[in-house]
Amino acid sequence: MRLIFLGTGTSFGVPQIGCRCPTCTSADPRDRRTRTGALIETQGKRLLIDTPPELRLQLVAAGVDHIDAVLFTHAHADHVHGIDDLRALSVRQGVMLPAYGSRGTMAELASKFPYIFDPSIVVPAGTSKPELAAHVLEPGKATAIAGVPVLPLSLPHGDHEVFGYRIGAAAYLTDVKTIPGDVVAALAGLDVLVLNALLSRPHPLHLSVPEAVAAAQRVGARRTFFTHLTHENTHAALAAKLPPGIAPAFDGLVIDLPGA
């Protein structure tokens, strides 16, 4: 099983437009953070998590020529505004791509992108749109997606709900403010935890870096990777501040896990 970080940046992206801070002007390629998304490869299938604004560039960089399903964490702009780039895949693959999320997320996507989700809207002959088949997941109920068991987990993101996903010994949780006790229990025995970590100071919607460290220690995965990172820290500076077993992710990072 393999986890590929496509993007690891917060909603502004890094470098942030107009910013001349040390991270935004860094020469370290790990300090260029596109908006947050990931890919899971397991059992011969490929699951995409979110469709951030740089999706085309991310999939080209990762050499991806097909996917089997899309999992949405929530419908905030930084996680979904690359959705039109799925058109290249649905045209290439000649299929409806299955798309999954919470009831609220799928409803929000349908209202944001009616040209994709409203079947009564037909594109002119000779043109195309992303062909997606929407499916609603129930939190806490494991579901086979492209044959892969996926456990959706409901987490608070301010007054918004996000879905985290556990797939085998990996869990991907982004845009989380706290991890409720029932979710901590559902994350027992993880090899890899992915968690959002924003700033050193508290934020109303996101775990701060110190809160994310505490949450990671509560979950107790063998390895934890932080994502949704800001320009507050360079990769090297953040890596130096984190305890053993916790590391910042970066765009293009590939993590191999035991098993197919």
Distance separating alpha carbons of residues 111 and 66, to the nearest angstrom: 26
Distance separating alpha carbons of residues 89 and 98, to the nearest angstrom: 12
> Would you say 14 or 148 has its CB closer to Zn ion?
14
Distance separating alpha carbons of residues 81 and 109, to the nearest angstrom: 10
Q: What is the 3-state secondary structure (H, E, C) of 74-117?
A: CCCHHHHCCHHHHHHHHHHHCCCEEEEECHHHHHHHHHHCHHHH
Q: Is 59 in the site for Zn ion (CB under 5 A)?
A: no
Question: What three-state secondary structure class fits 227?
Answer: strand
For the segment 4-23, give every residue that binds Zn ion (CB under 5 A). Answer: 16, 19, 21
Size of the site for Zn ion (CB under 5 A): 8
| Residue of 1, 6, 24, 106 interacting with Zn ion (CB under 5 A) | 24
| Residue of 32, 33, 177, 231 interacting with Zn ion (CB under 5 A) | 231
> Would you say 11 or 90 has its CB closer to Zn ion?
11
Q: Give the x-and-dash track for 101-140 against Zn ion (CB under 5 A).
A: ----------------------------------------
Distance separating alpha carbons of residues 90 and 96, to the nearest angstrom: 6
Determine the interface stretch with Zn ion among 107-115, 210-218, 224-232, 252-260 (rule: CB under 5 A). 224-232
Q: Give the x-and-dash track for 150-189 against Zn ion (CB under 5 A).
A: -------------------------x--------------
Burial of 214 (0-12, 13-18, 19+ CB in 10 A): exposed
Burial of 129 (0-12, 13-18, 19+ CB in 10 A): middle
| Residue of 30, 33, 46, 76 interacting with Zn ion (CB under 5 A) | 76
List contacts with Zn ion (CB under 5 A): 16, 19, 21, 24, 76, 78, 175, 231
